């Protein structure tokens, strides 16, 4: 069951729209990916790129019960990224370390990870330092092998390149209106399509009459610091209370704030200083190092799970609302959209992510 010849317009070229457009194009659809923003000028472009089922389930209360879903989503990445590696979109499988304040914090984290179903192991201080050069001697650490990572900017570039190499069409413009059998773009251009996928993250800028399901989305702003001059260049992500440090060849990322209700992307220098201050006890070389930063807006739903599948509006599919895990979930959401458009059975998780599901009132 392929999509040969199906004309699809995907609105939004973040992690989710880009993965979906690529997946549909691979399956034979004639796909247009429309986004007015420059590549990476969105939440996906500033994200830390962690594919982290273990620590997301352990640290984000709203995701506590989601480890099996998040781990299955992570498992789709190697096959999805196979063709992207040669284009610069590699996956790093070094795992992630928890470095608590003391042995009791580490022991509690080990129990918490194991309760979620995540593989985890206690390390001595020397073992942790061997994995993560530059790490200050900790009181031991916990290694979660289930968590991987990618470099967001590079993966967006790789997906864009792969999509266009397959004949996909990328337009730097916004979707303004959806009509039966057509998408109306900024400036009034009318494109004949069989289907529209809305992957516009927190807000579909300028879209007339957005599908009603989007009213369930709430913004959570995230600021993240980048330090080029110091910090780990490789090895595992390091997590500690209130902070994480993600190694990168061009410098490390220190994240991130969770500012519920804020839809703006302003970067506050004092927030970047605070993030660096939280990371410096882990990596002393970060103390006083020049810090830059960025901000993005995550879209969240009342149950912290994305909306993916048919909207109540005919001919429209949604793929958004992935909160803190848009990168982790992108191949899964892409596969759900592909299967549903092809009339095939989607992955089992699709039922729980149905945009028309009822959300329980808060307890």
Ligand X SMILES: Cc1cc2nc3c(=O)[nH]c(=O)nc-3n(C[C@H](O)[C@H](O)[C@H](O)COP(=O)(O)OP(=O)(O)OC[C@H]3O[C@@H](n4cnc5c(N)ncnc54)[C@H](O)[C@@H]3O)c2cc1C
Binds ligand X by CB under 6 A, chosen from 9, 32, 34, 332: 34
Q: Which of residues 163-222 bind ligand X (CB under 6 A)?
A: 174-175, 199-201, 204-207, 222
Stretch that binds ligand X, among 188-196, 271-279, 319-327, 347-355 (CB under 6 A): 319-327
Q: Which is nearer to ligand X, 138 or 306 (CB)?
A: 306
Q: Which of residues 226-285 bind ligand X (CB under 6 A)?
A: 255-256
Shortest CA distance to 115 belongs to which of 147, 153, 68?
Answer: 68
Shortest CA distance to 19 belongs to which of 351, 252, 314, 308?
Answer: 308
The C-alpha atoms of residue 97 and residue 247 are separated, in whole angstroms, by: 12
Would you give the binding string for ligand X spanning residues 11-30, x where CB under 6 A is met?
A: xxxxxxx-------------
Q: Is 43 in the site for ligand X (CB under 6 A)?
A: yes
Q: Which is nearer to ligand X, 116 or 323 (CB)?
A: 323
Binds ligand X by CB under 6 A, chosen from 26, 141, 224, 278: 224
Shortest CA distance to 144 belongs to which of 270, 261, 48, 53?
Answer: 53
Considering the complex, what minimum distance in angstroms separates the CB of residue 104 from ligand X?
A: 27
- Which helix H or strand E contains 20, and what residues bound it? helix 15-26
Considering the complex, what minimum distance in angstroms separates the CB of residue 27 from ligand X?
A: 19
What DSSP string runs through 232-270? -SSS-EEEETTEEEE--TT-EEEE---EET-------HH
Binds ligand X by CB under 6 A, chosen from 9, 26, 48, 96: 48
* DSSP strands (E only) in 21-84: 30-34, 50-51
Count Cα atoms within 13 angstroms, Cβ side, for 242.
11
Can you read off the two tokens belonging to residue 222? 């995230």
Stretch that binds ligand X, among 43-51, 84-92, 275-283, 334-342 (CB under 6 A): 43-51
Q: Can you list the alpha helix ranges (DSSP code H) found in 303-343?
A: 326-342
The C-alpha atoms of residue 203 and residue 267 are separated, in whole angstroms, by: 19
Considering the complex, what minimum distance in angstroms separates the CB of residue 333 from ligand X?
A: 9
Stretch that binds ligand X, among 41-49, 74-82, 109-117, 353-361 (CB under 6 A): 41-49
Stretch that binds ligand X, among 34-42, 94-102, 107-115, 266-274 (CB under 6 A): 34-42
Considering the complex, what minimum distance in angstroms separates the CB of residue 278 from ligand X?
A: 14
Q: Is 81 in the site for ligand X (CB under 6 A)?
A: no
CB 64 within 8 A of CB 240: no
Can you read off the two tokens belonging to residue 63? 């995701």
Q: Which is nearer to ligand X, 56 or 143 (CB)?
A: 56
Q: Which is nearer to ligand X, 31 or 44 (CB)?
A: 44
Considering the complex, what minimum distance in angstroms separates the CB of residue 35 from ligand X?
A: 4
Q: Which of residues 274-313 bind ligand X (CB under 6 A)?
A: 296, 298
CB 160 within 8 A of CB 39: yes
Binds ligand X by CB under 6 A, chosen from 67, 80, 98, 327: 327
Chain centroid to Cα 208, Å, comes to: 26
Beta strand pairing status for 243-246 and 182-185?
A: unpaired
Considering the complex, what minimum distance in angstroms separates the CB of residue 198 from ligand X?
A: 8
Stretch that binds ligand X, among 48-56, 69-77, 121-129, 283-291 (CB under 6 A): 48-56
Binds ligand X by CB under 6 A, chosen from 22, 29, 50, 308: 50
Burial 22-56 (b: 16+ CB within 10 A, else e): bbbbbbebbbbbbbbeebbbbbbbbbbbbbbbbbb
CB 336 within 8 A of CB 308: yes
Please tell me the count of residues contacting ligand X according to CB under 6 A. Answer: 42
The answer to whether the Cα torsion of 69, 70, 72, 76 is positive or negative is positive
Considering the complex, what minimum distance in angstroms separates the CB of residue 294 from ligand X?
A: 7
Q: Which residues bind ligand X (CB under 6 A)?
A: 11-17, 34-37, 42-44, 46-50, 174-175, 199-201, 204-207, 222, 224, 255-256, 296, 298, 320, 322-328
């Amino acid at each position: 069951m392929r999509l040969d010849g199906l004309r699809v317009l995907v609105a939004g070229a973040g992690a989710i729209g880009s993965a979906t457009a690529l997946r549909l194009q691979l399956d034979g659809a004639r796909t247009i990916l429309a986004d007015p923003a420059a590549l990476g000028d969105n939440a996906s472009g500033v994200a830390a790129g962690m594919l982290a089922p273990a620590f997301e389930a352990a640290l984000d209360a709203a995701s506590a019960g989601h480890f099996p879903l998040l781990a299955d989503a992570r498992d789709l990445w190697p096959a999805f990224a196979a063709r992207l590696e040669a284009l610069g979109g590699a996956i790093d499988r070094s795992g992630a370390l928890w470095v608590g304040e003391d042995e009791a914090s580490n022991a509690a984290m080990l129990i918490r990870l194991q309760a979620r179903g995540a593989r985890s192991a206690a390390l001595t201080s020397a073992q942790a330092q061997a994995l993560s050069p530059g790490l200050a001697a900790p009181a031991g650490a916990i290694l979660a092998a289930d968590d991987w990572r990618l470099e967001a900017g590079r993966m967006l570039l790789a997906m864009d390149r792969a999509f266009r190499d397959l004949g996909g069409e990328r337009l730097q413009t916004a979707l303004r209106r959806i009509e039966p059998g057509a998408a109306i773009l900024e400036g009034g251009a009318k494109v004949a399509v069989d289907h529209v996928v809305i992957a516009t993250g927190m807000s579909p800028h300028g879209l007339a009459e957005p599908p009603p399901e989007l009213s369930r989305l709430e913004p959570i702003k995230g600021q993240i610091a980048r330090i080029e001059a110091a910090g780990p260049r490789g090895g595992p992500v390091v997590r500690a209370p209130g902070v994480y440090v993600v190694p990168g060849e061009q410098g490390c990322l220190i994240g991130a704030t969770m500012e519920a209700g804020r839809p703006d992307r302003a970067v506050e220098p004092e927030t970047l200083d605070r993030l660096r201050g939280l990371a410096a006890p882990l990596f002393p070389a970060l103390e006083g190092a020049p810090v830059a930063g960025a901000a993005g807006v995550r879209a969240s739903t009342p149950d912290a799970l994305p909306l993916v599948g048919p909207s109540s509006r005919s001919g429209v599919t949604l793929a958004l609302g992935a909160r803190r895990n848009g990168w982790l979930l992108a191949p899964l959401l892409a596969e759900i959209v592909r299967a549903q458009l092809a009339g095939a059975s989607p992955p089992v998780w699709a039922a729980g992510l149905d945009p028309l599901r009822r959300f329980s009132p808060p307890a």
